[in-house]
Chains A and B, each alone.
Chain A
Amino acid sequence: MIEIDKICKRYGDTLVVDTVSLAIPHGGVVGIVGPNGAGKSTLLSIISRLMKSDSGSVLVDGLDVTKTPGRELARRLSVMRQENHVAARLTIRDLVAFGRFPHNRGRPNRDDQERVAAAIAFVGLDAMADRFLDQLSGGQRQRAFVAMALAQDADYALFDEPLNNLDIHHAVSMMRLFRRMGDQPGKTVIVVLHDLNVAATYADRIVVMQAGRVVGDGPPSEIITRSLLSDVFCVEGDVLDIEGRRVISVAP
């Protein structure tokens, strides 16, 4: 269980995260959506201790993220950020292998190697595992980082817009991958998404953020509505029901 309690964060005069409280129990896929600048990435950074909040607290399985040793947390929580500027020239296999670092402290054993190979195969990069990251396309690099998070095998996996740079084929296979991860016992996937249709299709629960606040939280059937489109995203459109799934159709 991740317990987020009254988190606030301001940059200068703007409050980017405004008293956000959320409880995320074990299991499933949680999608976080919202317009640009809603504070989604900042919230994710605070949960994953990459950034300090001004007030409030985040507990992961009862452990305060600001006080727990990094190694302890790294085995419970992994995070993949939007921009990954890597100065080190590494192969895909090198990169993914470092996902095992919280478990092996840099000394991989046979089990680690198998997990790494499996993670690479999962994202479909096994044919190019020994290529260097600087020889890959943006989408391939993105998938390599997802494989790294996979290899880390944490109970909570956080992804910040992992579908950037991906074509529809890879976006769909990545969401299916998250779905499978979230269906494993004890594993929770928390993913910031841009596309509401994607969120509606794959997430069990959608959290809507707007101007630093949580303005909606529930299953897709409750959250994806016409008023969400007009009130939060400022577009007019219809929400259709196709075989029980919510699908958005925006007016041209």
Chain B
Amino acid sequence: MSVPTRPVLLGILLITTVLFAAASLLIGGGYAWSDVLTLKGDGALVLAASRVPRTVALLLSGAGLAVSGILMQMIARNRFVEPSTAGTVESASLGILLTLLLMPGSPVIVRMLVAALVALAGSALFLMLISRLPLGSVLMVPLVGIMLGGIFDAATSFLAYRFDLLQSLGAFGSGDFSIVLRGRYEFLWIIAGLVAAAYATAARFTILGMGEAVAVGVGLDYRRLVIFGLIIVSVVTAAVVVTVGAIPFVGLIVPNVVSLFLGDDLRRSLPVVATGGAVLVLASDVVGRIVIAPYEIPVGTIMGVVGSLGFLTFIFWRRGHAA
């Protein structure tokens, strides 16, 4: 077979990650890359306070979102599901707005926890809906998720409008890493732990993707595992949305591309999925910093464009093949 094997794929991704990480550390508004590299003037400060945090935040968010995507796909047993097509992102945003409303000035951890709880409830509602609806086509599942997300969005906008919070709402609307500074992103490290937890239970999540009957048949506690998966997805999503805002489609594109090469035995594919997500988000951010320098295009916007194109390609490709 001419398909690249796992070590090759992982190797390519890791090298790409290092290259883009270097670029991410050196490129940015206001400072020449040579100053940053030689730590001249404010170079050291820029690196420590802005560039390193930003790069780490990009890597963690990308890895977390891609892993969340594949977990959601196994749980919902649908290839088109990810946090932004399952109401998870939108319910997390609603959660953040609720903290702004009810507990103004609360610390980030409180906002993240509330967002995670609301995201958990929102995703669970999505799963309940798709298990009850008669679904004619696989595309109905993400459509239902997008509609549910639309409803959460509408509620969020309405509340924000009524309570004069529309401006703060904009801040977590579209993923933007230019706001990441030392002291304002450390929460994202929780994602590393969650990705590790997903990897440790990768065999179980793969079985989940074979359906409840198979999972119960080999002795798994199906319900508990679904809840565990949803907790990982909700906390990752909430952490990303609270810190930098929503980044759509990462969880959709990366797992599906990796699946083409390696299949979905998560014991094998999860490290590749995580690295792939990290590279994609990192690269999008670096590109966003270059194209209209010295201004920036936020990652959320770039991923929105790249992702929707990828989504469409994927749908049509999938149609042409066995689905």
Given contacts A94-B263, A106-B203, A106-B267, contact A86 B210 (CB under 8 A): yes
Question: How many whole Å from B5's CB to the nearest CB in chain A?
Answer: 12
Assembled-state Cα–Cα distance A106/B220 (Å): 11
Q: B211-228: which residues lie under 8 A (CB-CB) from chain A?
A: 211-214, 216-221
Given contacts A101-B203, A132-B263, contact A85 B211 (CB under 8 A): yes
Tell me which of A50, A89, A90, A95 has the highest count of chain B C-beta atoms within 10 A of its own C-beta.
Answer: A89
Cβ proximity bits B302-323 to A, threshold 8 Å, 1 near / 0 not: 0000000000000000000110
Measured CB to CB, the nearest residue on chain A to B264 is A88
Stretch at the interface among A3-11, A67-75, A166-174, A195-203: A67-75
Contact status A134-B206, CB under 8 Å: no
Contact status A70-B220, CB under 8 Å: yes
User: Given A48, A50, A88, A135, which contacts B206 in the complex, CB threshold below 8 Å?
Assistant: A88
Measured CB to CB, the nearest residue on chain B to A105 is B203
Contact status A72-B209, CB under 8 Å: no
Assembled-state Cα–Cα distance A90/B259 (Å): 9
Residues of A near B321 (CB, < 8 A) are: 134
Interface SS, A side: mixed
Measured CB to CB, the nearest residue on chain B to A88 is B209
Given contacts A94-B265, A98-B207, A134-B322, contact A87 B78 (CB under 8 A): yes
Cβ proximity bits A76-105 to B, threshold 8 Å, 1 near / 0 not: 001111001111111100110011011001
Question: How many whole Å from A104's CB to the nearest CB in chain B?
Answer: 9
Residues of A near B6 (CB, < 8 A) are: none
B233 at the interface (CB under 8 A from A): no
Question: How many whole Å from A114's CB to the nearest CB in chain B?
Answer: 19
Contact status B265-A90, CB under 8 Å: yes
Residues of B near A49 (CB, < 8 A) are: 216
Assembled-state Cα–Cα distance A86/B79 (Å): 11
Measured CB to CB, the nearest residue on chain A to B259 is A89
A142 at the interface (CB under 8 A from B): no
Contact status B219-A73, CB under 8 Å: yes
Question: How many whole Å from B85's CB to the nearest CB in chain A?
Answer: 15
Residues of A near B217 (CB, < 8 A) are: 48, 50, 74, 78-80, 152
User: Given B73, B77, B220, B263, which contacts A90 in the complex, CB threshold below 8 Å?
Assistant: B263
Contact status B219-A84, CB under 8 Å: no
Q: B171-191: which residues lie under 8 A (CB-CB) from chain A?
A: none
B297 at the interface (CB under 8 A from A): no
Given contacts A87-B73, A106-B204, contact A70 B210 (CB under 8 A): no
Residues of B near A73 (CB, < 8 A) are: 219
Contact status B218-A102, CB under 8 Å: yes
Contact status A50-B212, CB under 8 Å: yes
Residues of B near A106 (CB, < 8 A) are: 202-204, 267
Cβ proximity bits B289-301 to A, threshold 8 Å, 1 near / 0 not: 0000000000000
Cβ proximity bits A224-245 to B, threshold 8 Å, 1 near / 0 not: 0000000000000000000000
Tell me which of B78, B217, B322 has the highest count of chain A C-beta atoms within 10 A of its own C-beta.
Answer: B217
B238 at the interface (CB under 8 A from A): no
Assembled-state Cα–Cα distance A73/B77 (Å): 25
Contact status B218-A88, CB under 8 Å: no
Extra pairs beyond A74-B219, A101-B203 (19, CB < 8 Å): A48-B216, A48-B217, A49-B216, A84-B211, A84-B213, A84-B214, A86-B209, A86-B210, A87-B73, A87-B77, A87-B79, A87-B209, A88-B263, A88-B265, A94-B263, A95-B210, A98-B210, A105-B203, A132-B263
Q: Which 6 A-B pairs have the closest CB atoms?
A: A106-B203, A74-B219, A88-B209, A87-B77, A88-B264, A71-B219
Taking Cβ atoms with an 8 Å cutoff, the residues of B that contact A are: 73-74, 76-79, 202-204, 206-207, 209-214, 216-221, 259, 263-265, 267, 321-322
